[in-house]
């Protein structure tokens, strides 16, 4: 696992998470839209929600990626940054545990990590960071403007916070999950355990 920076102060992200969760929770009554069967979830059912439909971002090799590239697999999408001291390493460590618990079905899950800090998260940094957790994890980046547009499209809340001579980033911490058809289906809560996440994911396999 990558070293966690000590220069960055740990800052609570509960406010951003509460704002996002409140909006998503209000929409769960629409989860059965589109003819899909209702899911019994520990996370948040996002079936039928009209956001986060796609992205156009770059992988560390400079290749443009969209959801269509991962058709046929579940996609677990998380927004963060490599210098994150706590939330991001926790989310990616859980993703490693999820793959282990899925067993043979692990190959049917693609984990994507979208940086919110493209200025510091160069392609080389992003590749080293994600592969330190699991070689199959893929980091995605773009220009700061494209990242901001993508975060808005996914209703991700984030902000730079000065910390002395540098900065950290406060951000919401949901992991979004797409089914094999590239349709947004659920959000895994940050506090959700790996076994509970696997319970949710297996309903989409």
CATH number at residue 121: 3.40.30.10
Residue with tokens 């059912």: 45
User: What pLDDT shows up at residue 199?
Assistant: 97
Count up the domains in the chain and report the number. 1
Q: Is residue 7 part of a domain?
A: no
- Is there a binding annotation on residue 197? no
Q: Residue 162: which domain range?
A: 32-49+58-202
- Kindly state whether residue 169 falls inside one of the protein's structural domains: yes
In a domain, 21, yes or no: no
Is 88 annotated as contributing to ligand binding? yes
Residue 170 forms part of a structural domain: yes
Residue 76 burial by CB count (10 A; 0-12/13-18/19+): exposed, middle or buried? Answer: buried
**CA–CA distance, 167 with 8 (Å, rounded to integer):** 7
Q: Is residue 121 part of a domain?
A: yes
For residue range 28-56, list pLDDT tens digits in order.
Answer: 444 444 455 667 899 999 999 999 999 99
Q: Would you say 45 and 28 are in contact if contact means Cβ atoms under 8 Å apart? A: yes
Band of pLDDT at residue 1, cut at 50, 70 and 90? low
Would you say residue 25 lies in a domain? no
- In a domain? residue 116: yes
**d(C-alpha 149, C-alpha 55), whole Å:** 9
Mean pLDDT taken over the chain:
88
* pLDDT at position 35: 53
Q: Does 20 map to a domain?
A: no
Confidence check: pLDDT of 128 > 70: yes
Angle between helices 87-102 and 123-133 (to 10 degrees): 50
Q: Is the pLDDT of residue 10 over 50?
A: no
């Amino acid at each position: 696992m990558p070293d966690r920076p000590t220069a960055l102060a740990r800052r609570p992200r509960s406010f951003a998470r509460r704002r996002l969760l409140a909006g998503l929770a209000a929409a769960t009554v629409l989860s059965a839209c589109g003819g899909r069967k209702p899911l019994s979830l520990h996370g948040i059912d996002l079936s039928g929600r009209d956001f986060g439909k796609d992205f156009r971002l770059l992988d560390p090799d400079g290749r443009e990626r969209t959801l269509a590239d991962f058709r046929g697999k579940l996609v677990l999408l998380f927004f963060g940054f490599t210098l994150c001291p706590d939330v991001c390493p926790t989310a990616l460590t859980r993703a490693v545990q999820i793959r282990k618990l899925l067993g043979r079905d692990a190959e049917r899950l693609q984990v994507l990590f979208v940086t919110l800090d493209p200025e510091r998260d160069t392609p080389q940094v992003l590749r080293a960071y994600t592969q330190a957790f699991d070689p199959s994890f893929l980091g995605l980046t773009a220009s700061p403007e494209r990242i901001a547009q993508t975060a808005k499209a996914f209703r991700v809340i984030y902000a730079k916070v000065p910390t002395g001579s540098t900065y950290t980033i406060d951000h919401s911490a949901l992991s979004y999950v797409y089914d094999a058809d590239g349709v947004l289906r659920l959000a895994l809560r940050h506090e959700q355990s790996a076994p509970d996440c696997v319970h949710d994911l297996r309903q989409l396999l």
